[in-house]
Structure 1
Amino acid sequence: MTTTTPTRRRVLVPLSGLLLGMFVSMIASTVVSTSLPVIIHDLNGDQGAYTWVVTATLLTTAISTPIWGKLADLMGRKTLYQIALVIFVLATAAAGFAQDPGTLIAFRAAQGVGAGGLAALSQVLMADIISPRERGRYMGLFGAVMAVATVGGPLLGGVITDGFGWRWNFFVSLPVAVAALLLVQRTIPASAPSTRRPKIDYIGIVLLSTAVSLLLIWVTNAGRSYDWWSTETVLMVGGAVLAAILFVIVELRSSEPLVPLTLFRDRTFTLAVVASIATGIAMFGASVFLGQYMQMARGATPTEAGLMTIPMIAGLLLSSIGVGALITRYGHWKPYLVVGSILLTAGAALLSTIHYDTDFFLVSVYMFLLGAGVGMTMQNLVLAVQNSAKPSEIGVASSGVTFFRSLGGTIGVSLMGAALASRVADLFAGSHERVVAALTAIGPAGATWGKQLSSGTLPRVSEMPDQLRVIVEDIYAQGISSAFLIAVPFGILSILAVIFLPNRSLSTMTTSERRNASEADLATVSVPAAMDSITATGTVPVTGSDVGTDARSEAEATPRR
C-alpha cells in the first residue's frame, strides 16, 4: 500500500489550532511560576502550601489524563479538546479571586483537569494527521511553542506582579483562550466518534486518586506534622498500598480500564513510562524550584527571576526543535533519547551543588543542560510509543505516557518540596544564634522580621535588610540544592530504560492510514480463506440469517476488498 506525505499546508492549518491551545495551557501555567513566592506570602501560606499549589495541579492532571485518552478512543476528539480548553481557562480565571491558600489550591486542582485533556488530546490529534516519521519536525514546533510560553510566561508574570499585582496573572490568558477556541473550531476537522458506547472506570479513578493523594499527603507532612515513623505514617502508607493493589485488580477485571495494564506487555511502552517519570520530575521540579531559588536564595524580584531562568528554556528550545528536525530527516530517534537522558541527569546532579553565591554563569550552564535533556526526551518518548502502539490504542497509549510523566512530576515535586521544607527548618534551627544577632543588629524592624520568620510564612527575601538576607539566602540555597539531589537517581534509572528501548524504525503512515491498512490486510487474509472454502465444497457458505434469501446470500458471499 502506497502512502503520500501530507503537504505542509494541510498539516499546518489544523496544527495551528493545537499550537495555540497548547500555548494557552502553557502560558497560564508558567505565568504564575515566578510570582508564586509572592502569592503564597500574600495569602499567608507556608512552604507546604507552596508545594501543594503545584502538586494539586499535577495530581489532577495525572489522574485526568488517562480518562481523556480513553474518551479520545471512543468519542469525537475535537469536541473533547474544546471542552478541556474551556475547563482549564475558567479554572485559571477563578484562581485569580482566591483569598487563601486552600481556595487557590482547589482552583488549581480544577485547572489540572483541563490541562490533562489538553496534554493528552493534542498528542492524539497530532497522530491523526501526521505520520511518526514526519511528526518529529512538527513536534519541534510544539517544543518551540512550549519554550516561548515557558520563557514568556515567567517574564510576563514577573512584570505583571511587579506592576499590577499577581491576580492579573490568572486573567491574562482569557483573550488568547477565546482566540484558540475559535481557531480550533475552524481548523481542526471533526473526527468520527466510535460506535462503541463510552465506559468510564469510575472505581479505578477513585482508587487511583486515593492511592496517590494519600502518598502525597504523607510525603508533604511527614517530619513536620508527625514523625516519619508514626501511626499516621502506617495508616497513610498502608492505605496507599491497599488502594494501589485494589486498583490493579479492578483494572485487570474492567472491560474499559482507566490504564490498560495490557499495554505493559509492550516493552517500548513499559520502558518509556519509566523514562517519562524521570523526565516529569526534572521538568516540573525545575520549573517550580528554580524560580524559588532565584527569589529566595539570590534575592531576585519576580521579573528578574523570569530573566534568570532563560538558559534552561534556551536549552529546551534548541534541543526540541533541532532534534525534531534531525529525526524527521534521518529517521533515527533513539540516540537523541540516550543523550537527552544523560544531559537531564547531569543537569539535575549539577544543580544539587548550587549555593546562594555560586557563579551565575555556572548555574546557567547547569540549567541549560537540564533544559536540553528535557527537550530531547519529553516529546520523543511519546513518539516512540505512538510508533509501536496499535492504531486503536493510540489515545490511551499516548495519554498513558503523559499520565506517568505527570504522576512522576507530582510525586517528585512533593518529595523535593518535603526535602526542602525539612532542610530549611533544620538549617534555621542550626542558625538560630546568627538569625537572632542579625535581627538585633537591624533595630526596631528586627521584631517584625523575626515574627514573620517564626510564623512559617514564606518571606520576601528581596525586601530584607542585608544582615538577615544573606543568612536566609544561604539557608534556602542549601535547601533547594538538596531537593534537586532527589531527581538524580530517577535520572539514572531513565538512562537505563532508554538504553533498552527497542530501536524500531519510524512509520511513514498516519494513524488513520495505519488503521485503514490493517483493515485492508484483514480483508486480504479473509478473502483467500473464503475462496478456499468455496473451491473445496463447491458451494457458497450460507449463514443462518441468509437462509431463504438466495440473492442476498450470493451478494454477501461475494468477496469485498
Structure 2
Amino acid sequence: MTTTREPTAAAPGTQAPAEQQGRMTHRQILEALSGMLLAMFVAFLSSTVVSNALPTIITDLRGSQSQYTWVVTATLLASTASTPIWGKLSDLFSKKLLIQLAIVVFIVGSMLAGLSQSVGTLIGWRVLQGLGLGGLQALVQIAMAAMISPRERGRYSGLLGGVMAVATVGGPLLGGLLVDTSWLGWRWCFYVGVPFAAVALVLLQRTLHLPVTKRRVRIDYLGATLLTAGVSGLLIWVTLAGDQFAWASSETALFLAGSVLAIVAFVVTETRAAEPIVPLRLFRDRTTTLAIVASVAIGVAMFGSTVFLGQYLQISRGYSPTAAGLLTIPMVGGLLVSSTVSGILITRTGRWKRFLVAGSVLVAAGFALLATIDHETDMVLLGVFLFVLGVGIGMTMQNLVLAVQNTVAAGDLGAASSAVAFFRSLGGTIGVSVLGAVLSNRVGDLIAAGLPPGPAAAGSGSGSVGLADLADAPPAVQELIRVSYGDATGRIFLVSAIVAVVAVAAILLIREVALRTESGEERLQRESRPALADDEAVGTAR
C-alpha cells in the first residue's frame, strides 16, 4: 500500500510545529496520552467489572454456564472481528476521529447492556459494546506508534501498564461494591464506564493532534464480512458442540464446512483487494508471523482462563465479589511491576527479546502452578501463583506489539498493530469458548459422580444440574456444585499452560531487530517522500 503525506508548509525561516514534522515533545505526548489512556482505562474497566459480577448476573437472570461463557465471548468476538477493520481505517482516516467514534459506540452499547432484562438481550448488547472496545484497544496502540519511536515507547508503555493494572484491580473491586450495594446492583457495572468515556472524548478533542491523510480509499467490505462469518461460525460451533449437539454430528459438519469456506474465501479476497483488511504481505515477515502465533497462544491462555478466576473464587470458595477482586491483586501487582520495569529497561538498552522470552516462560509456569488448585487450595499459595502469572503477562503482551511495530513499514503500522491485537483477541475468544466448554463438561461429570443414584443423577451428565440451579438447589446439592467448580477449574489452567508453551516456542524463534529511533509519522513521511511528486493527495494537520 502506498501512503502519501505532505505536511503543511511552514513559513521561510521558521520551523513547522512538532506534530507536522511527525515528532511531538514529551509534554505534547503526555497531553495526548491523557485522553487515550483514559479511553484504555474504560476498555479494561468494562471487562474486569463485568467479569467479576458475572456469577451474580447469571444467577440473578437464571442463566446457564454456556450463557456465562457467551456474555464474555460475545464481546470478545465483536472486538476480534472489528479490530482489523478499525486498524485498516486508521491507515486511511483520522485516528483521532476513529478513537472518538469507538468511544461513542462503547457508550451506547454499555447503556443498553445495563437495561437488559434477559441473558440473551445482554449478550446482544455486549456485541455492540465489543465493537467499541475493539476500536479502543487497537487504535490507542496505533496512535502511540504514530507519535512515539519504538526505542522511546518503553518509557510510555509503563503508563499503559499502570492503567491496565489500576483498571484490573479497580474493576473487580468496583464491580464487587456495585453488586454488593443493594440500591445500585449489577446493572451499574455497565453504566460505570460511561462518565469516564465521556471525559475521554473531551480530552481527546483538546489534546490529540495527528496529521490526517486525505486520499481516495477503498474499504474491503467483502473481506470484513467473510472474516467475521468464518470466525463467528467456528466459535459458535465450539460453544454449542457437546451440549446442543454431538461433536460428531451433521451440525458440526455444517458449521465446520461453512466456516472453512468463509475463511478460504477471505484469504482469496485479501489477495485481490485494493485495500485488504489484513494485508497478507505482513505474514512474509518472520517477526510478525511468529509474534502473531505467540499472541494467539497468549490470548487463549490469558483470556480463556482468567475469565473463570472470578467464578472460582465466588462460586467455589464462597468469597463476595469485593473480596474476589481483592484476591486478584497479586496478579495485577506483578503485571504493573513487570510492564513498567521492562519498558524502562527496553528504552535504556534497546533490547527486547530477553523480556519476551522470560515473560512467556513465566506465563507458562504460572498456569502450570494454577493447574494444581482445587476447592481447598491455600489462598496465600494461590496469590503466589497469580503473581508469577501477572509478571509474565506484563512482560509479554505490550512487547509483542512493539516487536511488530518496529519491523513493518510505516504505512502498515495500523494494519500490523491491529493484526496482532486481532489474533490475540481471537485467541482469547477461542480460549473462552473452548475452556468454557471444558469447564462445563468437567463440572457436569463431577456433579454426576457426586449425586446419589436417582433421576437427578441421570440428567446431570448433560449439564442439567449446574450454575443455573445454584440459587434454588438444596444445601447438599449447592455444596456439590461449589466443590465441583473448584476441582474442575484446575483443568482449564492446565490446558492454558500447554497452550502457553506454544508462545514460548514462537518467541524463541523471533529474530531480534534493534529498535528504531523514529516515530511512525517520521518514518511515514520519509518513506512516502519519493512518491509525493506523483500523487495528488495532500496532508493536513488536525
TM-score, normalising length: structure 1: 0.86
Q: 1:181 aligns with which of 201, 208, 218?
A: 201
**Alignment-derived partner of residue 143 in structure 1:** 161
User: What CA deviation, in whole Å up to 9, does each residue of 1:50-78 have, x standing for no partner?
Assistant: 00010111111011000001000001110
1:210 CA drift (Å)? 1.6
Instruction: Name the structure, 1 or 2, with higher relative contact order (CA <8 Å, separation 6+).
Output: 2
For 1:165, the aligned partner's letter is G
Q: Which residue of 1 aligns with 2:288?
A: 269
CA distance in 2, matches of 1:377, 1:411: 19
Alignment of 1:28 with 2:37, yes or no, is no
Structure 1 position 474, deviation (Å): 1.9
The aligned counterpart of 1:118 is: 136
Partners of 1:283 and 1:194 in 2: CA distance:
39
For structure 2, the 5+ residue unaligned runs are 1-20, 535-542
Query: What residue identity is the alignment partner of 2:195?
Result: P
What is the CA distance between 1:400 and its match in structure 2? 0.5
Q: Tell me whether 1:488 sits opposite 2:508 in the alignment.
A: no
Match among 438, 446, 468 for residue 458 of structure 1: 468
Tell me which of 58, 73, 82 is aligned to 1:64. 82
Partners in 2 of 1:519 and 1:355 — Cα distance?
58
- Deviation of residue 27 (structure 1)? 1.3
- Alpha-carbon deviation of 1:139? 0.8
Structure 1 match to 2:27 = 9
Would the aligned equivalents of 2:52 and 2:311 in 1 still touch at CA under 8 Å?
yes
- Residue among 14, 28, 44 paired with 2:62: 44
Q: How does 1:62-461 map to 2 (within 5 A)?
A: 62-163=80-181, 164-195=184-215, 197-433=216-452, 454=464, 456-460=466-470
Contact 2:444 2:465 in 1 (8 A): no
- The amino acid of 1:507's aligned partner reads R
Aligned to 2:540: none
Q: Which of these residues, 476, 488, 492, is aligned with residue 479 of structure 1?
A: 488
Deviation at 1:212, TM superposition (A): 1.4
1:420-452 residue CA offsets vs partner (Å, 9 max, x unmatched): 111111111111119999x9xxxxxxxxxx9xx
- Counterpart CA distance in 1 for 2:244 and 2:526 is 59
CA contact (8 A) 1:344 1:373 kept: yes
- What are structure 1's unaligned runs of at least 5 residues? 440-449, 527-542, 544-561
Normalising by structure 2, what TM-score? 0.89
Q: 1:100 to 1:332 in 2, by over 3 A?
A: same
Amino acid in the other structure paired with 1:426: D
Is 2:58–2:64's contact at 8 Å kept on the other side of the alignment?
Answer: yes
| 1:33 match: secondary structure | helix
Q: Distance in 2 between matches of 1:523 and 1:260?
A: 21
The CA RMSD over aligned residues, in Å, is 2.4
Tell me which amino acid in the other structure corresponds to 1:167: R
CA offset digits 1:470-499 (Å, max 9, x no partner): 422220012221122222232111111101
How has the CA–CA distance of structure 1 residues 431 and 127 changed in structure 2, closer, same or farther, with 3 Å as cutoff? same
Question: Relative to structure 1, is the Cα distance of residues 487 and 152 closer, same or farther in structure 2, using a 3 angstrom cutoff?
Answer: same
- Are the counterparts in 1 of residues 470 and 478 from structure 2 also a CA contact under 8 Å? no
Provide the C-alpha distance between the structure 2 equivalents of 1:468 and 1:148, rounded to a whole number of angstroms.
Answer: 38
Deviation at 1:523, TM superposition (A): 8.6
Query: Within the alignment, does 1:509 sit opposite 2:527 as a pair?
Result: no
Whether the 8 Å CA contact 1:78–1:191 is kept in 2: the answer is: no
Contact 1:73 1:194 in 2 (8 A): no
Aligned residues of 1:276 and 1:401 also touching (Cα < 8 A): yes
Contact 1:226 1:232 in 2 (8 A): yes
Offset at 1:5?
8.2
User: Match of 1:472, as an amino acid?
Assistant: I
Tell me, yes or no, if the aligned pair for 1:278 and 1:408 is still in contact at 8 Å: yes
| CA distance 1:311–1:458, shift in 2 (3 Å) | farther
1:240-287 Cα offsets, whole Å, 9 max, x none, are: 122111111111111111111111001111000001012212331243
Whole-angstrom CA distance in 1 between matches of 2:34 and 2:469: 42
CA deviations on 1:390-442 (whole Å, 9 max, x unpaired) are 011100010000000000100111000000111111111111119999x9xxx
Q: How many residues align?
A: 508
Distance 1:40 1:435 in 2: 27
Which entry has the higher C-alpha Rg, 1 or 2? 1
Distance (whole Å) between structure 2 residues aligned to residue 226 and residue 363 of structure 1:
36
Q: State the shift of 1:460 in Å.
A: 4.9
User: Shift of the alpha carbon at 1:4?
Assistant: 11
